[in-house]
Amino acid sequence: MLWRAVVWCFIAFFVEGVSLAAEGVSDRFFRTSDGVKLHYLEAGRGPETMVFIPGWLMPAAVFDAQLRELSRRFRVISFDPRSQGKSEVFNGAHTPEARCRDIHELLKVVKPTRPILAGWSLGVMEVLDYLAHYQPADLAGLVLIDNSIGEGRPPGGGGSSKSGSGTAGPKDRSAYLRDFTLSLTKKPLSDPLFKAIYASALQVPQEAARELLRKPYPREYWRDTLLAQSVPVLYAIRPRYEEQGEALLRKRPSLAKVELFNEAGHALFLDEPTRFNSVVTAFAEKTWALAPKAR
């Protein structure tokens, strides 16, 4: 159809020339068990690894500042889930089971030692869902960034709305996704990063974008899955999740750390990268120092 051709030309315009990979950041690819070619970025060296899972429609490149900075101390992986970023666009179902399996197969490829898994936004849910399904024995810790963990009351307004994901026309969807991209931060995005995020959001098939938001679990699923983990947790949040952070601290006083970002947008690691990276580095070093050595 003509409108699809127009949209793909539009995406190609934005993607062309967009390269955020700094020196020492490498593009990697692997094929899943169902034949989809997936992409991830890798930086740093060493046995201990932090793996970042991005949010709804987002590319691995959104963690560019973390790849650059955190890789000075340890190995960092940033994942492009299927249909996002430089991963292959998949026209089939994007079920929770498939997304969990993709994370599982990514970890089998990168072979991390005592990994710390970091999820942002929808990535929080996908990391917890992966843990519920696969129960990895060597997990060292968790970094959960600005999404609900199923505690207390559901948070009120103030998040990045995804209600426009089902807009009917390509022009409306393009405009919605442009506004959505701009709403992620309070500070302006750099032009290359805006283009990478916007292009990733545009390329995800519309039905897949809707499907990713339909999680077949009650809120308690996320809470119970998190509380079943016996590893340190860093919960980096804005004030809308403060009540959930307080509940986590009450239930896991010796394992949980809550870091509140009062002035940041949803992508708080982009608005305050220096502070975020410093907090994550301190958490990771302490976590790996306390984690049991790999067998």
Domain 2-15+31-290 -> CATH class = alpha beta
279 or 171, which is more confident: 279
pLDDT of 92 > 90? The answer is: yes
Which residue from 268, 246, 285 is spatially nearest to 159, judged by alpha carbons?
268
Q: How far apart are the first and last CA of the chain?
A: 55
Percent above pLDDT 70 for the chain? 86
Judging by beta carbons within 10 Å of its beta carbon (0-12, 13-18, 19+), is residue 226 exposed, middle or buried? buried
Q: What single DSSP character describes residue 145?
A: E
Report the C-alpha gap between 70 and 284 in whole angstroms. Answer: 10
Three-state secondary structure along 101-118?
HHHHHHHHHHCCEEEEEE
- Give the CA diameter of the chain: 58
pTM, 2 dp: 0.90
Report the C-alpha gap between 78 and 61 in whole angstroms. Answer: 7
Q: Determine contact, residues 175/165, Cβ cutoff 8 Å.
A: no
- Tokens 């207390």 correspond to 152
pLDDT tier for residue 154 given thresholds of 50, 70 and 90: confident
- Tokens 């089998």 correspond to 108
Percent above pLDDT 90 for the chain? 82
Report the C-alpha gap between 127 and 136 in whole angstroms. Answer: 11
pLDDT of 13 > 70? The answer is: no
* Arithmetic mean of pLDDT over the chain: 90
